[in-house]
Structure 1
């Protein structure tokens, strides 16, 4: 009788443990994170198929803070918002500026960084500044569907603005002499200048971001109405800023605080 009783008591205990384990598994937030994988040093797909960069490390830190099980999905830039809306992933962490136009399609978290745009040109350029007049008559490259392409098309109206699907493609045309200059984030351009190919070129100047185009900074996009996820991400951004994890990631890539003012 004593042995039978122990067995009888053990069965409910085991069942309870299984039930608790199942409940805990169900409670774990599962997220798919969309990113481009073609925008170093923020996000880049390596030759072995892994992702690296500031965006990727920040995403991992946020997932850890939220105790979420996260999976990355790569997506071409020009289709990244439609892919989010279609449910291919739950959030975009891909250096996306918070702009009024995008806010009509998606919701954003608070910013997680904010760096200025810049113009790069060949070392032997006669371009001396970054005003409309300085760039008049020049062929300017930019990645399409970005705040930088919007700025170029709006403010360099006396230039021939050429748009490219990826940053790598405009860099190739700049190296091969098919462009007079390019515009992009200063950090992205400085990373390019450190490479062997980037030895061709130099920063002509940085631009003061126009908030109507660039917005308040770079945020995480989520589908419209997903306020719970947005607020959890906001809380996690604040937490990693407060606990030093953000600075640890920042200092891995940059010599200054990219969070901005």
Structure 2
């Protein structure tokens, strides 16, 4: 009887140990819309892109089971704070305003902000160059905030869109005169068939207070253990070369930035 009891206790202990060793499951939120080359669904509906490969790399390194959870962009921070998702990996810039509500990992990429417009028109990405124009931006983004501050007084209108794709399509259709967004995302559009209409007018003057200090993983405040795991994973994939390996599939320059 005593031997049977010892065996039972050992079995429970081993089971508990196995459960403790299981990978932590986290729901990773990003915008439920195509945002190439970072995230987009392929023909089968599977999400692919640079940011998907980044997510897979850090989750493997951190021994996390990550579940992709698309969320409407303008509700993605509330989804995080209400625990519907556990992390945001969605090209979200680290800004002082967002840091009031959520926390961020270390930067995992940093790229400039650009303005595009019709090839037939010549203008610069400045308040003077965009005077009298209708400028398309995605709602609830740093680009909306920047365009409102720097171009709002002279522009005819700052037109807001729920998705970047909608803004790009309206530019191709002639409903807006220019679009501001991340330069890499704009470059992907310019290389597409609809984007043949347009070209890059230039990058806007940087304002870290609005545009942020690069892109980070969005996290709930107080979740130090998860943050430490993510930061360690970012550092590790940068050091072991896997970051560069998957990045070269998409870019011919260092997306990590200065």
SS at 1:109 equivalent: strand
What is the distance in 2 between the residues matched to 1:44 and 1:238? 26
SS at 2:89 equivalent: strand
What is the distance in 2 between the residues matched to 1:106 and 1:68? 21
What's the TM-score once normalised by structure 2's chain length? 0.92
Segments of structure 2 that go 5 or more residues without pairing to the other structure are none
- Give the one of 91, 114, 117 matched to 1:118: 114
| RMSD of aligned alpha carbons | 1.7
What is the correspondence of 1:105-254 to structure 2 with a 5 Å cutoff?
105-127=101-123, 129-157=124-152, 158-159=154-155, 160-254=157-251
Segments of structure 1 that go 5 or more residues without pairing to the other structure are 1-7
Q: Is the 8 A contact 2:122 2:201 kept in 1?
A: no
Tell me the residue number matched to 2:83: 87
SS at 1:183 equivalent: strand
Deviation at 1:55, TM superposition (A): 1.2
Q: Is the 8 A contact 1:37 1:43 kept in 2?
A: no
What's the TM-score once normalised by structure 1's chain length? 0.91
Q: Is the 8 A contact 1:37 1:45 kept in 2?
A: no
Distance 1:137 1:224, change over 3 A: same
**Once the two structures are superposed, what CA deviation does each residue of 1:75-126 show, in whole Å capped at 9, x if it has no partner?**
0100000001111111000000000110011000110000000010011113
Q: Is the 8 A contact 2:32 2:73 kept in 1?
A: no
Deviation at 1:208, TM superposition (A): 3.4
What is the distance in 2 between the residues matched to 1:120 and 1:62? 33
What is the distance in 2 between the residues matched to 1:189 and 1:37? 18
**Once the two structures are superposed, what CA deviation does each residue of 1:43-98 show, in whole Å capped at 9, x if it has no partner?**
12334221111111111100100111111100010000000111111100000000
Deviation at 1:29, TM superposition (A): 1.4
Deviation at 1:24, TM superposition (A): 2.5
Pair 1:26 & 2:20 matched: yes
Structure with larger Rg: 1
Deviation at 1:31, TM superposition (A): 1.0
What is the distance in 2 between the residues matched to 1:18 and 1:47? 46
